[in-house]
Amino acid sequence: MSKKSQKILIVLLCIACFGAGISVPMILDHTSSVDSKEQKKFGTIYSILNTDWYYSNKIKNLDSTLIEQAITGMTTLDKDAHTNYFNLEQAKAFSTSLEGSNVGLGISFYLNENKHFVVSNVYINSTADKKGLKPNDEIISIDDLNCSENDSDSIIKYIKSHEGKSVKIKYLRDGKEYTTNLIPGTFDSTVVCNIYDGYGEIILSSFSENSGKDFSKAMSRLQEAGIKKLVLDLRNNGGGYLNAALEISSSLIPSKSVVFKEKDKNGKITKQKTKNEFSQVKMDKIVVLQNENTASASEVLIGALKDNLGDIVTTVGTTSYGKGTEQVTVPFSDGTSFKYTVAEWYTPNGTSINKKGFKPDIEVELGEVKTTSYYKFKKKDVIKKDSVDDNAKALQVYLQYLGYSVDRTDTYFSNTSSQGLVNFQQDNDLEATGDCDKTTWDLLVEKVLLKMNETPSDDVQRQKAIEEAQK
């Protein structure tokens, strides 16, 4: 894997690829006539590579390798970046990205200064949700495992190994200790619902098979609580199943409304409408959070809301990705698959956002620390003062965020910024070298994540959305 491919955002992005706009997988039996001269040319080259090529006896499974590469070449088209052939590993990863299912308690968390697991999100219908765990609960221990004495990987591994078995959770809420038993199991990690004073928040990370019913349950909770104002967070949501977009739209817009229109290669227009099994929960105000990674099915939802509800809907953030096409997937018996474009979609009013995206009603850029990415930091890596390094930008941005003095935030790690690092190392009982090794790096990232989680006001996009919802 190249260093470039290992680029990581400090804030987890659930958008590994824009596999959005996917319809239900299809098995097709297409045949076509190919010019006999081209077939002969292909056969000749294939035969030469198999028999006369110098390296032919040095490649394992040469036959299948040649065919796989030919298929990859045939499906790598400049015209359409969303038509792809997936080998076995890629097909599994793509399928997993659409499933949205995980095994565990059904929470996301961060570590605080006491090394307790602080709940940041609770997923709808998970075991944690059913047992009433809430954001800001501090998990002290799981059975005999003290969180402060074990790293997160060990705790997660223990939870997954106890799928279907009861585990005892000790946690703190508002300084008081509680104990409950939870049974780790499969949960859909796409819908989070939080209720605040005067407004509700739904975080939708993707459009999986179960997102529609989970979203409907979230809307019912808001309705039962008398909430009439919603902040809907679609940031970094790359989409998923279009059917889920139809179901989710059905909980927000009137029955029999058009959610989107499809246009096939022959120009035929098909209207896709709300699902009868989902009832609209009326809101007085809906504020949608979006960014450059909000794509496809997410954009379908934005278009449906804007065109059907008008001024009730306000979008906040940055311009969305602009994926206005729809794909279907053809799975093969060997586990590989082929995804190809079958249509372009339009909003109910007939607008195409393909390669353009939706501009927000209120544009708000995140601070640099929220958008700065870095490459995987290896054990042998060291960022030395007075040198250029790919991760020097992140290093200096993070130092600045934590209040240490730096004089620049690019890939040159200056002597002045190095002194800021010395101060960080001294404050955290590390060897004060002014150079950044992996120990220093890991602690720096941990401190940055902690401050991000404990300072929600730093998310200026979300803060603006809340302000708009409360007007």
Give the pLDDT of residue 95. Answer: 83
Q: CB neighbours of 17 closer than 8 A, spacing ≥ 6?
A: 94, 97, 238
Q: Over pLDDT 70: what percentage of the chain?
A: 93
Q: Over pLDDT 90: what percentage of the chain?
A: 85
pLDDT band at residue 17 using 50, 70 and 90 as cut-offs? very low
Extract long-range pairs of 422-426: CB within 8 Å, 24+ residues apart: 424/399
pLDDT band at residue 194 using 50, 70 and 90 as cut-offs? very high
Give the pLDDT of residue 468. Answer: 97
Phi, psi (rounded to 5 degrees) for 127: -65, -35
DSSP letter, residue 330: E
What are the tokens at 72?
A: 């990859």
What are the tokens at 70?
A: 């030919």
Give the pLDDT of residue 23. Answer: 55
- For residue 299, pLDDT over 90 is answered with yes
CA–CA separation, 106 and 121 (whole Å) = 8
CA–CA separation, 139 and 168 (whole Å) = 11
Across the chain, mean pLDDT equals 91
Q: Is 341 helix (H, G, I), strand (E, B) or coil?
A: strand
CA–CA separation, 251 and 220 (whole Å) = 9
pLDDT band at residue 2 using 50, 70 and 90 as cut-offs? very low
Mean of pLDDT values over 74-83: 92
Give the pLDDT of residue 33. Answer: 53
Give the pLDDT of residue 21. Answer: 63
CA–CA separation, 137 and 131 (whole Å) = 13
Q: CB neighbours of 123 closer than 8 A, spacing ≥ 6?
A: 106, 107, 108, 129, 187, 188, 189, 190, 191, 192, 214
CA–CA separation, 146 and 261 (whole Å) = 53
- For residue 8, pLDDT over 80 is answered with no
Q: Is 260 helix (H, G, I), strand (E, B) or coil?
A: strand
Give the pLDDT of residue 62. Answer: 93
pLDDT band at residue 37 using 50, 70 and 90 as cut-offs? confident
Mean of pLDDT values over 307-327: 97
> pLDDT of 429-453, one tens digit each?
999 999 999 999 999 999 999 999 9
Give the DSSP H/E element, type plus range, for residue 233.
strand 229-233
> pLDDT of 382-404, one tens digit each?
999 999 999 999 999 999 999 99
Give the pLDDT of residue 96. Answer: 77
What are the tokens at 366?
A: 């995140």
Mean of pLDDT values over 63-89: 91
Look at the block and give the residue holding tokens 């030395």: 384
Contact in structure between 274 and 252 (CB atoms under 8 Å) = no
* 241: Cα separation from own chain's centroid: 14
Q: What's the residue count for the chain?
A: 471
Pairing of strands 313-317, 285-290: parallel
- For residue 122, pLDDT over 80 is answered with yes
**Angle, CA 193 vertex, CA 304 and CA 133 arms, to 5°:** 165
CA–CA separation, 153 and 150 (whole Å) = 8
CA–CA separation, 53 and 45 (whole Å) = 10
- For residue 11, pLDDT over 90 is answered with no
- For residue 283, pLDDT over 80 is answered with yes
Give the pLDDT of residue 14. Answer: 31
Can you give the pTM of this predicted structure?
0.88
Give the pLDDT of residue 35. Answer: 67
pLDDT band at residue 360 using 50, 70 and 90 as cut-offs? very high
CA–CA separation, 15 and 151 (whole Å) = 26
CA–CA separation, 287 and 312 (whole Å) = 8
